[in-house]
Chains A and B, each alone.
Chain A
């Protein structure tokens, strides 16, 4: 009884709750097997020598050469190839982790000392909780209001620093329902250890039900459209506006030629920067007359504006 209780306290691996988890664990276990074998071989050799060649032992000590090029080459080149394999496998997973699949469900996350604020496109907000439907690919668009945080989902084997002043993204797909921890993994001040939350993976029906339950806000794009009007953006960015400013239809995801000759892709970061620091990247063919909205919009409003501008793009059905 007591023994079983004690054993139950030991947990050897975290939950596997995402499509990536099994793949990361497979690489981990493979490395464990390889390095464990090498470590065991080295240890056994050392212990064998220590025992056999102790000072008083009468054993064959005919000197061997002090160096051997073939041996040195072997234990330089063989590890190198093994390492190359580890690199390749690890990098493959990383590329996968950093490439959001298309048609993901987007959710905005804002970190601040010491909580996570989440808003779903449909308008629903939550704090320190993240409801997602099982099986769907979720793309998180994250930023911080103050210091650097890190959105860490151990059961999904992903984490990503959440930086102030820009967006970082990460994606995952839950493979089973249940609730799984969110930790802040980047030290962010006094209550860093309390910046903990739950990902709640639900069946699609439960998720829909949850979305429409309780107090609901307008969809993010709708709030964004209202802001777009009230902040005066539409005064310039409209077909019949009196000044010449680019129309924002189909902006998201498309290449934008800049005045300095560069071409950048209009992603969330670009739209964000265009609103906060318009002077940095001027769209080619336009006068730099757009004012900065740096101190006039909050991080939440910014995400709403962005999701509105994104909703103007047909290429993506977000």
Chain B
């Protein structure tokens, strides 16, 4: 370590100004600064989110009437495909890892950048190229297979631009893999002196677990997309039984990636919430080690449950039973986390600022989403609700109620660090509450719809389902307002917000010890971790 410390002295950089000082376009497009790359990701995913949200709005409007009067069936099918593809691969998967993770990993471990800064920039370019290819598929006519691309529909029967869309996802997959690699290497190798594994912030534990999934699961998706393209373009029978293939093979491979991907889309949110709950109750998260290990357990067990998407696809009852019990097992670590967060609040010193409102919202919505997962894991119930709106509601509770809520919470929490400015607290709280109400009104009725039997991906539906669809659409419009508000006031705050100072929340962590916004090289002197990272002073 002596050697390391010497190096630090030499590198002791005293440059004034922040990472935002340079403003030239080139300084952004060729940056290797993890903070700037995080921001590049932020702009990019907001762009894709907006398109996907417009698609969702059009679908909800269409579903106001049973006959689906707004758009044609073909258009509707393309809308939900676009919505799913963009939200999953171009918003949710990169959301917390690539934006907040990029920005925060080096700051939290006291490093000057990620392990491979150039690779990091390359990931962003791959992501953008992948996204543009996907948008190209949209511009030349769209794709109507659903984000799940089930064969043989996608490989033989669909007349839309499946291969282009698959190519876009394929390319962006490499961005995921590189980001995952970068985080793993950074967390292993670049921790400041004193950061032992059990002094690692919980956000980093969750990102580490996420990175493991990104690196191990994404290649399977890449292979799958190649096989799909080979069958579609060259007619080589892989999945289509008419060509000698097996359609269920596709589903196995798809969910072998996509189930773990579900955890890519929620583990980072759990990490953010651990940070928020700790900072706003001024306490160490209760059961730190259990929370950290729960992240790893979720990441590993998540690879063993893909078959729960195929309970009615024609698998044997024994494999179904195995997947069912494993699915219950993977729910245990999630439950552990919820109980630990709740206990953290006990005897804390709690402030309900905007980020904390989001954190509390996350716990409630994630718990509700997780509990409905228990229904789906019960084989006898899944037979009835599989492929209905019950499933739609369930995963939106996890993905939107969970991940998006956590992302908003994290964005508000670290916004002063990212921009150096405070967002307006009143509007922050208002937007958080509007989102919570809008979200529940949108998705709760869908549980009822699903149990009543309304299948997913229906452009039109029997009259009996209308009431709940109207409620859901009403909720979506409220949710839309909730999303627009931060877009406006956050942009406003960049110029007009109050100056934040290094540590507006009086929170623990290396990122709060440097300036806001941080200097290009993060720290004047590499910090040393001499105590537990959440060592808040006892509350009198």
A-side interface residues toward B, CB under 8 Å?
9-14, 23-24, 27-28, 31, 35, 38-39, 42-43, 45-46, 49-50, 53-55, 60-64, 66-68, 71-72, 75-76, 79-80, 83-84, 86-87, 89-98, 113, 146-148, 150, 152, 154-155, 157-161, 163-166, 168, 181, 183-194, 196
10 inter-chain pairs at a CB distance below 8 angstroms, sorted by A residue, are: A24-B381, A42-B338, A55-B350, A72-B287, A79-B332, A86-B374, A95-B317, A96-B380, A168-B314, A183-B453
Instruction: Give the 6 A-B residue pairs with the shortest CB-CB distance, closest first.
Output: A93-B380, A165-B241, A154-B453, A90-B378, A94-B379, A49-B345
Instruction: Decide if B328 touches A92 in the complex (CB within 8 Å).
Output: no
For residue A133, give the distance in angstroms from its CB to the closest CB of chain B.
23
Instruction: Decide if A28 touches B388 in the complex (CB within 8 Å).
Output: no
Q: A152 and B455 in contact (CB under 8 A), knowing A66-B286, A67-B290? A: yes
Instruction: Decide if A148 touches B352 in the complex (CB within 8 Å).
Output: no
Hey, which chain B residues are within 8 Å of A191, CB to CB?
Answer: 73
Instruction: Decide if B455 touches A50 in the complex (CB within 8 Å).
Output: no
Hey, which chain B residues are within 8 Å of A147, CB to CB?
Answer: 150, 152-153, 156-157
Instruction: Decide if B349 touches A53 in the complex (CB within 8 Å).
Output: yes
Hey, which chain A residues are within 8 Å of B314, CB to CB?
Answer: 160-161, 163, 166, 168
Hey, which chain B residues are within 8 Å of A43, CB to CB?
Answer: 364
B-side interface residues toward A, CB under 8 Å?
68, 73-74, 77, 144-146, 148, 150, 152-153, 156-158, 240-242, 247-248, 281, 284, 286-290, 311-314, 317, 320-321, 324-325, 328-329, 331-332, 335-336, 338-340, 342-343, 345-352, 360, 363-364, 367-368, 371-372, 374-375, 377-384, 386-388, 448, 451-453, 455-462, 464, 466-468, 538-540
Instruction: Decide if A87 touches B332 in the complex (CB within 8 Å).
Output: no
Hey, which chain B residues are within 8 Å of A192, CB to CB?
Answer: 73, 77, 457-459
- In the bound complex, CA of A193 to CA of B455 (Å): 8
For residue B272, give the distance in angstroms from its CB to the closest CB of chain A.
17
Of the candidates A46, A60, A161, A185, the one whose C-beta lies within 8 Å of that of B388 is A185
For residue B254, give the distance in angstroms from its CB to the closest CB of chain A.
13
Hey, which chain B residues are within 8 Å of A196, CB to CB?
Answer: 462
Of the candidates B144, B148, B451, the one whose C-beta lies within 8 Å of that of A14 is B451
Which chain A residue lies CB-closest to B357? A50
Q: A158 and B346 in contact (CB under 8 A), knowing A46-B363, A87-B377? A: no
Which chain A residue lies CB-closest to B335? A79
Instruction: Decide if A54 touches B352 in the complex (CB within 8 Å).
Output: yes
Hey, which chain A residues are within 8 Å of B158, CB to CB?
Answer: 189
Hey, which chain B residues are within 8 Å of A91, CB to CB?
Answer: 320-321, 324, 379-380
Hey, which chain B residues are within 8 Å of A53, CB to CB?
Answer: 281, 345-350
Query: Binding site of B, secondary structure by majority: helix, strand, loop or mixed?
Result: helix
Hey, which chain A residues are within 8 Å of B284, CB to CB?
Answer: 66
- In the bound complex, CA of A192 to CA of B455 (Å): 10
Instruction: Decide if B349 touches A94 in the complex (CB within 8 Å).
Output: no
Instruction: Decide if A24 touches B286 in the complex (CB within 8 Å).
Output: no
Instruction: Decide if B342 touches A148 in the complex (CB within 8 Å).
Output: no
Instruction: Decide if A97 touches B380 in the complex (CB within 8 Å).
Output: yes
Instruction: Decide if B384 touches A159 in the complex (CB within 8 Å).
Output: yes
Hey, which chain B residues are within 8 Å of A67, CB to CB?
Answer: 286-290
Q: A185 and B387 in contact (CB under 8 A), knowing A31-B375, A147-B153, A168-B314? A: yes
- In the bound complex, CA of A240 to CA of B539 (Å): 97
Hey, which chain B residues are within 8 Å of A90, CB to CB?
Answer: 324, 377-382
Of the candidates A24, A68, A79, A80, the one whose C-beta lies within 8 Å of that of B380 is A24
For residue B203, give the distance in angstroms from its CB to the closest CB of chain A.
18
For residue B533, give the distance in angstroms from its CB to the closest CB of chain A.
12
For residue B223, give the distance in angstroms from its CB to the closest CB of chain A.
21
Q: A164 and B152 in contact (CB under 8 A), knowing A61-B347, A67-B287, A159-B386? A: yes
For residue B27, give the distance in angstroms from its CB to the closest CB of chain A.
41
For residue A29, give the distance in angstroms from its CB to the closest CB of chain B.
11
Of the candidates A9, A86, A159, A165, the one whose C-beta lies within 8 Å of that of B383 is A159
Hey, which chain B residues are within 8 Å of A93, CB to CB?
Answer: 379-381, 383
- In the bound complex, CA of A71 to CA of B345 (Å): 15
Instruction: Decide if B368 touches A193 in the complex (CB within 8 Å).
Output: no
Which chain B residue lies CB-closest to A36? B371
For residue B473, give the distance in angstroms from its CB to the closest CB of chain A.
15
Q: A157 and B384 in contact (CB under 8 A), knowing A83-B374, A147-B157? A: yes
Known: A192-B459, A194-B73; 14 extra A-B contacts, CB below 8 A, are A42-B367, A55-B351, A61-B539, A62-B347, A67-B289, A87-B325, A89-B380, A164-B152, A165-B242, A165-B247, A185-B386, A188-B153, A193-B458, A196-B462
Which chain A residue lies CB-closest to B287? A67
Instruction: Decide if A148 touches B374 in the complex (CB within 8 Å).
Output: no
- In the bound complex, CA of A164 to CA of B453 (Å): 24
Which chain B residue lies CB-closest to A196? B462
Of the candidates B156, B335, B338, B459, the one whose C-beta lies within 8 Å of that of A193 is B459
- In the bound complex, CA of A37 to CA of B349 (Å): 27
- In the bound complex, CA of A93 to CA of B378 (Å): 9
- In the bound complex, CA of A153 to CA of B377 (Å): 20
For residue B270, give the distance in angstroms from its CB to the closest CB of chain A.
15
* Interface hub of B360, B384, B460 (most chain A Cβ within 10 A): B384
- In the bound complex, CA of A142 to CA of B284 (Å): 57
Hey, which chain B residues are within 8 Å of A66, CB to CB?
Answer: 284, 286-288
Hey, which chain B residues are within 8 Å of A157, CB to CB?
Answer: 383-384
Q: A154 and B346 in contact (CB under 8 A), knowing A50-B352, A67-B290, A196-B462? A: no
Hey, which chain A residues are within 8 Å of B332, CB to CB?
Answer: 76, 79-80, 83
Instruction: Decide if A23 touches B380 in the complex (CB within 8 Å).
Output: yes
Q: A193 and B460 in contact (CB under 8 A), knowing A61-B349, A68-B287, A147-B152? A: yes
Instruction: Decide if A190 touches B462 in the complex (CB within 8 Å).
Output: no
Hey, which chain B residues are within 8 Å of A61, CB to CB?
Answer: 347-349, 539-540
For residue B323, give the distance in angstroms from its CB to the closest CB of chain A.
11
For residue B122, give the distance in angstroms from its CB to the closest CB of chain A.
35
- In the bound complex, CA of A42 to CA of B365 (Å): 12
Hey, which chain A residues are within 8 Å of B464, CB to CB?
Answer: 11
Q: A184 and B455 in contact (CB under 8 A), knowing A66-B286, A159-B387? A: yes
- In the bound complex, CA of A46 to CA of B366 (Å): 14
Of the candidates A83, A89, A152, A161, the one whose C-beta lies within 8 Å of that of B313 is A161
For residue B460, give the distance in angstroms from its CB to the closest CB of chain A.
5
Instruction: Decide if B328 touches A190 in the complex (CB within 8 Å).
Output: no
Of the candidates A55, A148, A193, the one whose C-beta lies within 8 Å of that of B73 is A193
